[in-house]
A and B are shown apart, each in its own frame.
Chain A
Amino acid sequence: MIAAIAVAVAQVIVVGAGAPLLVGVLRTLKARLVGRRGPSPWQPYADLRKLLAKEVVVSTTTSWIFRATPYVLAATMLVASLIVPVFLARPPLAFPGDVILLMYLFLLGTFFLALAGLDAGSAFGGMGSSREVAVAALAEPTIIVAVFALAMRAETIDLARVVERFSREPLLAANPAHLLAFAAFFIVMLAETGRLPVDNPATHLELTMIHEAMVLEYSGRYLALVEWASAMKLCLFMTLLANLFFPWGAGGLTGPAAIPLGVLVLAGKLVLLVIALAVLETTVAKLRLFRVPELLAGSFALAILSVMAVVLV
């Protein structure tokens, strides 16, 4: 029991404390790739500290929804970090994680954030909300179908057991379905976490923006919570990608050294994914907003093909 709680706390701390670093590393890498020096990877922590020290400006138009949303958003991400297998295959507190719950937890956060975007009554916020929910809704089927393809191979939808099964029998992953599902999931991750080519995370004032338009009214500690939650979402999606599709190292570790070792392994996998993401983001341009559904439809087709590959191969 005590060990389980310790693991739970460790998992929340790894995700909560590590997420800004992940974003920082990503930004530094992107800067280097385009020939800039860029800020230090620790910059997001400094940003958060600065935001926490500032006063909050709240529009008089808003209601309690606007003030509650940052807390709800951060809370959903913290709970989600208990469900995702982070460094141990079996998530702590016997939280029987399965991916459907996870996706609907993310939707809960999106729901409140989109409402907050409408709450201030500015056209920017409404535009961001409308686009964010459109992207989230269109991404949803791909996630579930891609995971369904994995679940068919592993014969379970419990994330922990998927990870265990794949790390025990690596040959299961040697299947075109695995690759197709990975590609589908990767595209959806870009859409869900607001990365290029779906959304541009680096800009505040561009007519094509999505996520940043929605949170435009936030400031001070509220903005800190929202930024932190976004970083956690990126971290959770990348962890999920790493552990579901390359589960080696996540399962099977036991003993007191399991946590530090698991964290190291995870960090290694995340660094590889971050490099891939940084290269991708510096080589592609942002898509026109109304081309995004085509990208998502493409990822959905990949997911369906993956299911077909499981059935037929």
Chain B
Amino acid sequence: MARLAYGLAALVAVGAAALGLHGMFGGAFTLQIGWLVPLGGLQLTLDPLAGFFLLVIAVGVAPASVYAIGSAGGARRGLGAYLVFVVSMCLVPLAANMMTFAIAWELMSLASYLLVLHERESRESLRAGWVYAVMTHAGLACLLAGMMLLGAWTGSSEFADWRAAAPGLGGGARSVAFVLLALGFAGKAGVIPLHVWLPLAHPAAPSHVSALMSGVMIKLGVYGLLRASFDWLGAGPPWWGVAVLIVGAVSSVIGVLYALVEHDLKKLLAFHSIENIGIILIGIGAGLLYQGAGLEALALLGVVAALYHTLNHAAFKALLFLGAGAVVHATGTRNIEEMGGLIKRMPWTAACFLVGSAAISALPPLNGFVSEWLTFLALLQNTHLARPSLSLAFALGIAGLALTGGLAMACFVKAFGITFLALPRSEAAARAHEAPPAMRIAMVLLAVTCAALGLGPTWVVPALATVAGALLGDTPPVAFGDWLTLRVSEGFATGSALAIAAALGVALVALPLGLRVAGASRRRRAYETWGCGRIGQTARMEYTATAFANPFKRVFDFLYRPTKKLDIDFHPESRFFVERIEYENPTRSIFDDWLYRPVLDGLSGVARAARAIQSGSANLYLAYILAVLLIMLVLA
């Protein structure tokens, strides 16, 4: 029964992919059922952008559902919520009026809230669910306010009417709508500083749901931002773009820095989602700036880079979460300090996780590289704006993106190396077993997708350009070279993923052959690891994840503000015999301490002050009513 339902979800994904591809290549339809939903009826429209996001959803949902067949087994818990979650996500990009959108959006949030509460028994889960519920509804409040303002100003709740009427609105009104909508969507996307729910909620859910929340659901925030800024409101003042660009750069760098010191595997991946959303926002910000300056070809490039990264992130983040799920399934822990050596016991999972790690670190020839490369190219051409002050902002964006790339590589050396390599660090890791076939199939599918998206940019980019072109309005068609070589901005840069991959392949084949021709010795001896003469190697001699991240903790201590706790029990006879050592080096979040804590404290302060007039006596409340009535009468 449960297996059948997950199979059905996979079929829904296949259907969504077909519909999405149809929409991306110009297929359009409108579905209207007036009686189903109040205030305008259910209204769904397929356009290229909606089609693209349906495809992104399908890329995540299909493997996640196949994986769930293996991991969930016959368990029914969360099954209904999962199906509602999948269907409501598919409805969000199709919604064509305010009410349809709001209902689909809220259904998606509620279903994922139930899935976050999967382990209702743990306090951690309950807290995650609570923070998620509060943040997502704060975002919804912003969204509804923005949408209702737009509805009131344009006199319609249909998105098509907003598109037509928005250019006629005043600059101030459009900026107010932009800020409200952007806040709402950025909250769902997990942009810093609205990210606090993300590292709590994503790990709490079962792994196939984490894969969907991180890989797909937060992308709908990106969808909303694209829809609101390019489609509904049209070209805006430069500060919209600068704001999105800077928020993106900050999110990417800080997201990856938090990931570096995180040793809960699923939390680490959740922080990387914040980083990747940042990279996507950098592309969107560049697109907004270029569009505002009338540079359509460059705006197109920025949006194409953002869309490509959206698709890529859906593929590799789903892959990594599924891999993490398999590891957690096998070892029963999420703490990578208790893992190690899994590559020998879980070779398939390890290989897939390695592909995902290389892809998210933007290493050629995988997909992450292509989209980061395109983002770099969009940023590097800012001299066309002819505004020195903007060029400097762009230079910092470029530096942020480059730093993010390097730090992500460092973080995944840690994540893969400590989890899968060397000796097992715990009993559970030593007894780990490979994931069941359905889970392996799902991971291999996604790994192949990552490789294909990395090798085939010459086919993907033109398709994304049609989506971006339709979003930006009437842009002249842009050529992107032939099947082998991608030419960007009329030869500003060219690149060929296929050629690089082929050259790497040739070199990898030629090197062993060359060594043989050169007469190199082929003898090999297995022996223990060299260890300065100590006898016997144990896992306690290995480098830990904490130690691995320590250089970063020292360099960026202004962000982490690490505190050190060292607790040693000596032997009563002599100080030179240590019985027990406890070392902790936790970090503190500046966003919790400096942003959320003061706000929450302020709120409780107000509530405490209000308690003074709340005595609980009915007579007093009647007196209040009388007083207010009198005041109203006097004022009237």
Contacts and interface: CB of A to CB of B under 8 A. Distances in A.
Contacts of B418: 118
Given A79-B500, A121-B529, A133-B413, A107 B363 contact: yes
Chain B contact surface mostly: helix
B421 A141 contact: no
Interface stretch (B172-180, B313-321, B400-408): B400-408
B520 interface: yes
Interface string A155-182: 1111000000000000000000000000
A9 to B, nearest CB: 11
A301 to B, nearest CB: 11
Contacts of B364: 101, 104-105, 108
A63 B417 CA distance: 11
Nearest to A107: B409
A60 to B, nearest CB: 5
Contacts of B343: 63-65
Contacts of B160: none
B511 A71 contact: yes
Given A52-B521, A122-B531, A312-B388, A111 B543 contact: no
B636 interface: no
A104 B503 contact: no
A145 B507 contact: no
Interface in B518-561: 518-521, 523-531, 537, 539, 541-543, 547-552, 554-555
Contacts of B421: 63, 65, 115, 118-119, 121
A105 B557 CA distance: 30
A281 interface: no
Chain A contact surface mostly: helix
A130 B508 contact: no
A118 B413 contact: yes
A75 B406 contact: no
B494 interface: yes
B543 A129 contact: yes
Contacts of A253: none
A168 B266 CA distance: 53
Contacts of B363: 104, 107-108, 111
Contact of A76 (B399, B495, B504, B548): B504
Contacts of B549: 130
A253 to B, nearest CB: 23
Nearest to A134: B551
B144 interface: no
Interface residues on B, range: 35 or more
A243 B508 CA distance: 28
A140 B405 contact: yes
A190 interface: no
A195 interface: no
B361 A107 contact: yes
B423 interface: yes
Contact of B410 (A52, A64, A137, A312): A137
Contact of B521 (A101, A136, A152, A221): A221
A296 to B, nearest CB: 9
Contact of A114 (B344, B417, B507, B542): B417
Interface in B14-65: none
A126 B511 contact: no
Contacts of B539: 121
A88 interface: no
Contacts of B380: 148, 151, 157
Interface stretch (B212-220, B232-240, B390-398, B619-627): B390-398
Nearest to B554: A290
Contact of B422 (A110, A119, A141, A303): A119
B496 interface: yes
Contacts of B420: 63
A309 to B, nearest CB: 11
B376 A100 contact: yes
Contact of B358 (A57, A60, A111, A131): A111
B525 A55 contact: yes
Nearest to B344: A63
B399 A56 contact: no
Interface in A272-313: 289-290, 293, 300, 303-304, 307-308, 311-312
B507 A101 contact: no
A254 interface: no
A153 to B, nearest CB: 10
Contacts of A57: 524-527
Contacts of B493: 96, 98, 156-158
A72 interface: yes
A238 interface: no
Contacts of B541: 121-123
B167 interface: no
Interface string B83-104: 0000000000000000000000
Contact of A140 (B350, B358, B403, B551): B403
Contact of B494 (A96, A114, A307): A96
Contact of A137 (B340, B407, B496, B531): B407
A152 B525 contact: no
Contacts of A74: 507, 511
Most buried by A among B363, B388, B401, B416: B363
B511 A121 contact: no
A141 B406 contact: yes
Contacts of B406: 107, 133, 136-141
Given A71-B508, A312-B388, A125 B543 contact: yes
A136 B412 CA distance: 14
Given A63-B343, A100-B376, A122-B531, A130 B551 contact: yes
Contacts of B531: 122
B512 interface: yes
B499 interface: yes
Interface of B: 340, 343-344, 350, 354, 358, 361-364, 369, 373, 376-377, 380, 383, 388, 391-392, 395-396, 398-403, 405-407, 409-410, 412-414, 416-418, 420-423, 485, 491-496, 499-500, 503-504, 507-508, 511-512, 515, 518-521, 523-531, 537, 539, 541-543, 547-552, 554-555
Interface of A: 52-61, 63-65, 71-72, 74-76, 78-79, 82, 93-96, 98, 100-101, 103-105, 107-108, 110-111, 114-115, 118-123, 125-127, 129-131, 133-134, 136-141, 143-145, 148, 151-152, 155-158, 216-217, 220-221, 224-225, 289-290, 293, 300, 303-304, 307-308, 311-312
3 nearest A-B pairs in the assembled complex, by CB-CB distance: A126-B543, A137-B406, A121-B422
Given A104-B373, A121-B529, 11 more contacts: A58-B524, A61-B528, A74-B511, A79-B504, A111-B413, A121-B541, A127-B543, A130-B543, A141-B398, A289-B551, A307-B392
28 contacts: A53-B521, A56-B525, A57-B525, A71-B511, A74-B511, A75-B511, A79-B504, A95-B503, A96-B485, A96-B496, A98-B494, A104-B369, A108-B364, A114-B417, A118-B413, A119-B422, A121-B529, A121-B537, A126-B547, A133-B406, A141-B398, A144-B376, A148-B398, A217-B529, A221-B521, A293-B555, A300-B399, A311-B388
